[in-house]
Each structure stands twice: as structure tokens, then as C-alpha cells.
């Protein structure tokens, strides 16, 4: 998903404590990918609600472990996360299908995907139900040569014959959008609404109108 949800963070937090390991808050924060301050808040809340207990260990570390109530909460979060993920998948897929169909009508049938990962895989599945052709995926990080039988390249310079680029970067979509529009322009970069991209052209047009 484009950004980690509260459900996902809470679930990862509880899953990280299942084994009752001895660890520092720094280790825990790195494991779930949040700040130490936020990790401390998660621990305080979980202990207050009776989901987690802590035992002191040497070198300012603690053995954190889930209580029976904590395991029940983790199970509830798993179900909620799966429901949320399924809703996101359906919405993202539908938006990519609509994007591809509109592109085909405009004569943009040979498309690149910009960004690998979950969104690229959803876009690939969406393309199966349309008449567009996905000719390549652009990703500076991917170690794979192909994703879903589509070749992966590091830069746009390696591909020349395409009609438009579809944004499938979930890590930093706004930054990627701004970089690519400086090179390709807005008409060649297709963006689904759920990524909530802000177009700089809107602000520039407003300033020029004086409104």
C-alpha cells in the first residue's frame, strides 16, 4: 500500500513482540520502521491496555511479550488489515483499469510503469483487462530483470518507443511525479487519483491569473 496504515503499524508492533525477545526500544523501532518516540508511545499504550507486559533485562533492555489479550488483539488486527488491503487492491485496480482505458482512447497504448512493488503488480493485472501494452518497468531499486514478464530498466533513457508513463511508485510518488513532469510533461505522465498527487501547474496557473 502507498503508505503504512495505523492498522499495519499496530499489527507489525504486536507481531514483533510475539516471541518475548529481549530488546531495546531502538531495536524495536527499527524493526517496525517508526521513530523511537513513537515506539515508546506504542509500548505505553499497549501496556496500559493489557496487550503487552515488560520485564527488565540488563543494559537498559526489556523482555516484551504479548498477553492473552494481546494475542486476541493481534488476531483482530489481522482480519481488519486483510479487509482493508482487499479494499485498497480493488480500488487501485479499478483506477488503473480506468486510466488505461482512457489512455487507449487518446492513442496512448504503449505504456511504461514508473516504480516497482505492489502498485506495479496491481497495474499489470489491471492491464490484462484493457488494450494497452505495458512495455517496461522503470525502477532504480529493483534487482529483478522482469516483473510479470515485463522487463525492468533502471532509467527512462533506456527506453525510447512509448506513448506515456504510468506512476506506480508508492514510496515517494509526489517526488517522482515532480521529477518526471519536468522531463516528460504532464500529458505523458498518467496518475491514479488514489495517489493524491498535487500538480504544481495548478498553483502556477492561479498565480498568473492573480487569483
Higher pLDDT, 89 or 211: 89
Mean pLDDT over 96-123 rounds to 94
Mean pLDDT over 16-33 rounds to 84
Higher pLDDT, 60 or 207: 60
pTM to 2 decimal places:
0.66
Q: Mean pLDDT in the chain?
A: 84
In the CATH hierarchy, which fold is given to the domain comprising 6-66? Arc Repressor Mutant, subunit A (1.10.10)
Res. 50 pLDDT band, cuts 50 70 90:
very high
Q: For residues 140 and 155, is the Cβ–Cβ distance under 8 A? A: yes
Residue boundaries of the structural domains of the chain: 6-66, 91-205
Whether 91-205 and 6-66 are alike in CATH topology: the answer is no
The reply to whether CATH 1.10.3720.10 applies to domain 91-205 is no
pLDDT computed for residue 113 by the predictor = 96
- Please determine, for residue 106, whether its predicted confidence score (pLDDT) is greater than 90: yes
- Please determine, for residue 18, whether its predicted confidence score (pLDDT) is greater than 50: yes
pLDDT computed for residue 209 by the predictor = 42
Amino acid at each position: 500500500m502507498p503508505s503504512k496504515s495505523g492498522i499495519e503499524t499496530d499489527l507489525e508492533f504486536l507481531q514483533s513482540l510475539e516471541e518475548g525477545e529481549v530488546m531495546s526500544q531502538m531495536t524495536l523501532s527499527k524493526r517496525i520502521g517508526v521513530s523511537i518516540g513513537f515506539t515508546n508511545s506504542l509500548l505505553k499504550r499497549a501496556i496500559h491496555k493489557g496487550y503487552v507486559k515488560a520485564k527488565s533485562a540488563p543494559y537498559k533492555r526489556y523482555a516484551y511479550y504479548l498477553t492473552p489479550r494481546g494475542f486476541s488483539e493481534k488476531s483482530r488486527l489481522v482480519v481488519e488489515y486483510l479487509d482493508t488491503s482487499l479494499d485498497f487492491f480493488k480500488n487501485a485496480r479499478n483506477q488503473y483499469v480506468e486510466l488505461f482505458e482512457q489512455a487507449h482512447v487518446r492513442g496512448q497504448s504503449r505504456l511504461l510503469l514508473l516504480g516497482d512493488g505492489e502498485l506495479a503488480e496491481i497495474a499489470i493485472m489491471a492491464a490484462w483487462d484493457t488494450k494497452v501494452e505495458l512495455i517496461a518497468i522503470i525502477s532504480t531499486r529493483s534487482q529483478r530483470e522482469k516483473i510479470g514478464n515485463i522487463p525492468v530498466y533502471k532509467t527512462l533513457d533506456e527506453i525510447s518507443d512509448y506513448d506515456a508513463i504510468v506512476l506506480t511508485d508508492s514510496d515517494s510518488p509526489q517526488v517522482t511525479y515532480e521529477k518526471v513532469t519536468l522531463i516528460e510533461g504532464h500529458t505523458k505522465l498518467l496518475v491514479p487519483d488514489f495517489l493524491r498527487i498535487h500538480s504544481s501547474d495548478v498553483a502556477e496557473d492561479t498565480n498568473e491569473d492573480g487569483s
